[in-house]
Amino acid sequence: MLKESAYLVGFVAVLLLSLQGCARTSTLYSNTFIKPVTQVTKLNVIYVESNLVSKTSKTSVQFYDIGYTDLPELLRERVPIVFALNNIASEYATFKNQGFGQKEAMESIKWTSGTPEAMLLTLQIIDGQVVSGSHTPRTTTLNMQANLIDSKTKLRQWTGQFRNTFVAPPAGKNGFNNEFVDNLLKTVLEQMSRDGIIALAEHNAVIPLAKPAAATN
């Protein structure tokens, strides 16, 4: 009886997500290679732009349909806001991936703040997929890798793997927007806190309050 009840609850939860659509970021993996002597309070952030190549043009269009190409500029706006709320100074830049490594990415950016010695946090969508069926909503996943690099030694300090999942609602669509990117950054910062890289109270990151949906008549 207990197993049947648990199954029913799980089924209802999945059904509700399918009916409403959902978008979320989850942590898949993280590892600290070299723990900083002092917790990081400033980060230079680079988003490495990648062209996701799909076997079908339809899948590529679906990546764009969730606003994947908006991500560089959304991060440009949201990184300083979210990081400042969590007492982390930051500067942001983008870098188009052309087969170069992390070292080349670091050397190509001219930081305007005059603090090039700050730790470097790179963010990159490394792959993704779209799954849809006749009886299931379209689900798009984009996997993101984050790396923390010491700008002096060029050694990687920490890495994290994160999955962005979008379940299409019956009507309309969901994808990258301010609220989603804020929560994406929240997930990354909280994992960095749990791994001892930055300091957050109870490992909880602060993000701006979501604006309420506009009332309709």
Q: Which domains does the chain have, with CATH numbers?
A: 21-203 (3.40.50)
Question: In 3D, which of 22, 23, 27, 45 has the Cα closest to residue 187?
Answer: 27
* Predicted confidence band of residue 78 (pLDDT cuts 50, 70, 90): very high
The mean pLDDT value of the chain amounts to 81
Query: What is the per-residue pLDDT across 5-44, written as a single tens digit (0 to 9) for each?
Result: 544 444 444 444 444 458 899 999 999 999 988 899 999 9
* pLDDT (0 to 100) of residue 73: 96
Give the per-residue pLDDT at 156.
94
d(CA 60, CA 48): 18
**Contact present, 191 and 184 (Cβ < 8 Å):** no
pTM: 0.82
Secondary structure element (H or E) that encloses residue 83, with its range: helix 71-85
Q: How many CA atoms lie within 13 A of 63 on its CB side?
A: 22
